[in-house]
Amino acid sequence: MAEAKLAASRIREQAQRVLTLVPLVPVTGLLVAVDGVIRNLRILPGTMVDAAQTSLHTALLASRERNRVAEHTARSRPSP
């Protein structure tokens, strides 16, 4: 019981870090958020910490990739 509370507390702390990272480095925030959800699922199966889920959602919205490739210009080599 105490171990579960400690794990949930650490997951909430990680989620808070995500909210700090997202405005500065959105993709890093996204990676930390994904890691937090994975930890949540591994350590506390069947119990989703709300902060982990919220931080992932926030990071997903903030980290939309803005770089796009216009067209493929490299020549492809034939397979041997």
Residue 78 located in a structural domain: no
User: Cα separation of 37 and 7, whole Å?
Assistant: 12
Is residue 57 within 8 A of residue 64, CB to CB? The reply is no
Residue 52 located in a structural domain: yes
Report the domain count for the chain: 1
Angle CA 10–2–53, to nearest 5: 35
Residue 31 located in a structural domain: yes
Residues 14-31: tens digit of each pLDDT: 999 999 999 999 889 999
Residue 53 located in a structural domain: yes
- Note down the domain range covering 15: 2-62
Residue 76 located in a structural domain: no
Residues 14-73: tens digit of each pLDDT: 999 999 999 999 889 999 999 999 999 999 998 999 999 999 999 999 877 666 666 766
